[in-house]
A and B are shown apart, each in its own frame.
Chain A
Amino acid sequence: MHVDLHPRYADDAAATEASGLISACVHCGFCLATCPTYLDSGDERDSPRGRIYLLKQLLEAGEAGPATRRHLDRCLTCRSCETTCPSGMQYGKLLDIGRGMIETEAPRPFLERAWRRALRLVFSRPALFAMVLRPGQWLRPLLPPALARKIPAPQTVGPRPDRQHARRMLVLEGCVQGAATPATNAAATRLLDSLGISLVAAPRAGCCGAVNYHLGAHQQGLDNMRANIDAWWPEIEAGAEAIVSSATGCGSMIADYGKLLASDPAYADKAERIAQLHKDIAQVIATEGLAKLKLAPDARKIAVHVPCSQQHALGQGTAVTDILQGLGFQLAVTRDDHLCCGSAGTYSILQRERSERLRRNKLAALETDKPALIVTANVGCQLHLGEDSSVPVRHWVEFLDEVAHGGR
């Protein structure tokens, strides 16, 4: 579709890029079929095609109001539509640009702005998030069950091995994951240790930038990315082989560092190198050899929830099932694997009702074959599904580590 760019935006790089992206859309509507929010509402405005059209209108009219903002807000950014789109529309990229523009074109009421700012602040700073989480976890036993469910229980982490291998990889501790599910990276470290690789964290690295970037705060998001590059660079120069993430939400952001910082001369090259060095923990384990893990699968039936960031953004939809199947685990039959669970970063907080509906659907789809547990690859999905699931929801790395080492 052609966009008749409004003269106001003639020199605006973001608007020009957005109108270029829209030219890939042919308005066929295939994306409606796999968009969780359209399937939920049946409303064109809550479909990828509808949102593309609203952004086309913004670019052509030179203005937009709260109506457009509301429908952009309702997008999960799961990018299921991109997997479906035959004409190669880069919807996620367009939506991020649109979200940035709409913050200035249709400013939010003060309270909403303050609330989103607070979320960005807390979720993008690991120490701050931990400060908020800890008292909640202490009080958890005293809270009514409905509220207690929302606070993840403290985890037993187990030691990280202190052996130093010649091969080293960097691990992203993440912001939410580091505080809420620290057992994941401890387990990843133990698994890679048994494969002869030291997995280490760079102390000054922080949030990957996704929280800020997807909430339209692009500058803050890019600053998060630059800070991580600065933290990782000396380690990379010292021979670290890869940057490993065990949360696919963060991983899909790191994989985009090169594109997002392409116009920053000071960081473009480094960002591209970081993006190339990024690996999800599943890629590392699959490459290094499953046989070396010497695992004896048990009889439990496992349902795999593949995060959207893993299948639609990273294009690694079968990574975890391949590993588990390769090791001989019994996988449960699931349906609608391509649909989002409703977690989607801060979506579960900002769009609670819809998020809960999507979770109900997802849990029904995962539990249809009566699995003993659900495993996933992203902290957001893990906590969100875990709140309401009738079976335990775990990171697959923790599960594998438990089978291999008894979780120690």
Chain B
Amino acid sequence: MKGNYTYRLLYEKGVNVRYISQLDFVRVLNRTVRRSGLPVTYTVGFNPHPVMTVAAPIPVGTTSVYECIDIDFDEKQDTAFLAKHLDATFPEGIRVLEAKEVTQASVPFRDIDSASYTVRAEYSGAAPDVNAFLALGEILIEKKTKKGLKEIDIKPDIEKLVLLSAEDGICIFEMQLPCGNEKNIKPDLVVQAIEKYQPQFHAECVLPHRTAVYAKGKLIF
């Protein structure tokens, strides 16, 4: 089932909704779209639901200013109205920033391969030494996969890692990491790896904030 028009929304996931899981979030989107009363396209069958595609799943605890969703409509929409109306319909903490029509030129979500974050963590002991960390030949860390824990080398995956600040027990990193169907590395895993290789650095309360999502080098919105 496909609607006549597809619109892409750019929205923010704020602090008070950071603990919504991806699965729950899809339900929230679903209900918001239903409440909006807009002429969205529904799937056919016994359990009709709005035709929507969510871009890159976001981990529990992560806030974002760069989330995207494609929604299908039966009728053409005014993008400014669409953004404003859905923004008012979403629960608090989810802000719709912009909407635009999806065209041939739009980046398809299936090409998403990377995302950037700022990551805030509380730390004790020594401040992290990012340069030393990045100079390592390999960065081995255990990652949870569907088959259980698996040791992987994330060195080639770290597209960008910068320490923005480290003072008063708070450090802030900037990262760009694989994100998408092919490969997904969460920012907390990188922080864990730094802890592993720099035992004098202890982090807790790691709070990532997503700032952009890319597909083949292009921003998705």
A pairs with B: no
Q: List the interface of chain A (C-beta within 8 A of B).
A: none
Q: List the interface of chain B (C-beta within 8 A of A).
A: none
